[in-house]
Structure 1
Amino acid sequence: MRRSSVPLFLSSSAVLLVVAGCGGAEEAPAEAATGSASSPAAAGGGDLTARLVDAAGAEVGTVTLSEGEGGTRVSVEATGLPPGFHGFHVHAIGLCEPASVSPTDPSMTGDFLSAGGHLGAADADHGQHAGDLPSLHVGESGAGSLTAVTDALNLDDLTDDDGSAVMVHAGPDNFANIPERYAPAGADQTTRGTGDAGGRIACGTVEG
């Protein structure tokens, strides 16, 4: 799937953070089972959902995606995740397989690599991918929530032939925002690709 629109409020204003909350004592504004290829969206453009699971197959949250005023509304409710900020993205393939092979590099294996890269990764550097979303903050209780609106993708983008998946990463996402005083040559390829958010700890196949 390919889309050329440039997302994210960090670079323009394509993602609007609506509500974010977290469990536990910490309060901070959010920046936000083995699956198979996702099914087509329900007739009439109904909501899409994803069940977030960890590499052991335990359910750790749910995601709802719906069309609304201003774009696609993404709502996340998560439990049982490590405290802190976690990169949260839409990935290009609707497969959430633990210990899987990367579809672009067969030499790489790891949890949920079957979901491929970020939606829109071929069109821009990270921070401007169609699948880039605000980070999910998880409190000390292991619970976190996020609601955001993006005009960089729609429900049809999420239900093409190879589907899509939502992904929670192990660490925070820097959105490739590396000041020149730290890196005069700019962010490296890994940062431009993923925002240094680390491994994939939870994945959910988007389904109608």
Structure 2
Amino acid sequence: MLKKILLPLAICYSSSILAGADFPIINNQGKTIGNVAIKQGTEGVLINIKAKGLPPGYHGMHFHRKGDCSDLATFKSAEGHIDPHKKPHGYLNPKGPHEGNLPNLIVSQDGSVEVELYSHMVQLKEGPAKLLDEDGSALIIHANKDDHTSQPIGGSGGRLACAIIK
């Protein structure tokens, strides 16, 4: 009887991850400040971000290699950007961009943001730049604007917020 129940549950869980999932965004104090929803598209992922409590202005944002936000002070536990093909950082770099690149996040004066964007450079579960690999990945929101050229992170500065994608 238990096997009959567990198999359908496993299938439902697996297909929901393939279709998409929601992940909380935390700040450097470990407080949940928002959510990122990521859904698999035909050739990439659809990303919906909703958050509050961020500094107003432009903020670099990237997918990082490891789904680990345990180092609250710096979020360095998420490691560097997803970059399986070892390309330079930046949408404006003639030899880039690498797969972890995302557009800047623009936070309103009240510290809130709600945005939908698409990345064709990553997948949820397939290919070399998959978000849901063995150790997951992380969405990191940085302190400064990404200039889309400078190495290694476009001048984006420190890490303000982190979402574990696992």
TM-score by length of 1: 0.65
* Seq. identity, %: 33
Deviation of residue 49 (structure 1)? 2.4
Work out which of the residue numbers 92, 113, 119 in structure 1 matches 2:76. 113
Q: How does 1:187-206 map to 2 (within 5 A)?
A: 191-206=150-165
Q: In the alignment, is the contact (CA less than 8 A) between 2:33 and 2:53 conserved in 1?
A: yes
CA-to-partner distance for each residue in 1:181-206, whole Å, 9 max, x for gaps? Answer: xxxxxxxxxx2210000000000101
Q: Flag structure 1 segments of 5+ consecutive residues without an equivalent.
A: 1-41, 100-109, 177-190
Q: Flag structure 2 segments of 5+ consecutive residues without an equivalent.
A: 1-12, 91-96
Give the aligned residue type for 1:147: E
Query: Distance between the aligned counterparts of 1:121 and 1:85, measured in 2?
Result: 27
CA-to-partner distance for each residue in 1:88-134, whole Å, 9 max, x for gaps? Answer: 111000000235xxxxxxxxxx5100000011166111011111111
Q: In the alignment, is the contact (CA less than 8 A) between 1:70 and 1:149 conserved in 2?
A: no
Q: Return structure 1 stretches of 4+ with deviation > 4 angstroms.
A: none
Q: In the alignment, is the contact (CA less than 8 A) between 2:43 and 2:123 conserved in 1?
A: no
Higher relative contact order (CA 8 A, sep 6+): 1
Query: Distance between the aligned counterparts of 1:93 and 1:206, measured in 2?
Result: 9
Q: Does 1:51 align with 2:56?
A: no
Q: Does 1:97 align with 2:67?
A: no
Residue matched to 1:87: 60
CA RMSD of aligned residues (A): 1.5
Q: Aligned to 1:114, what secondary structure does the other structure show?
A: helix
TM-score by length of 2: 0.80
Give the aligned residue type for 1:54: N
Matched residues, number: 142
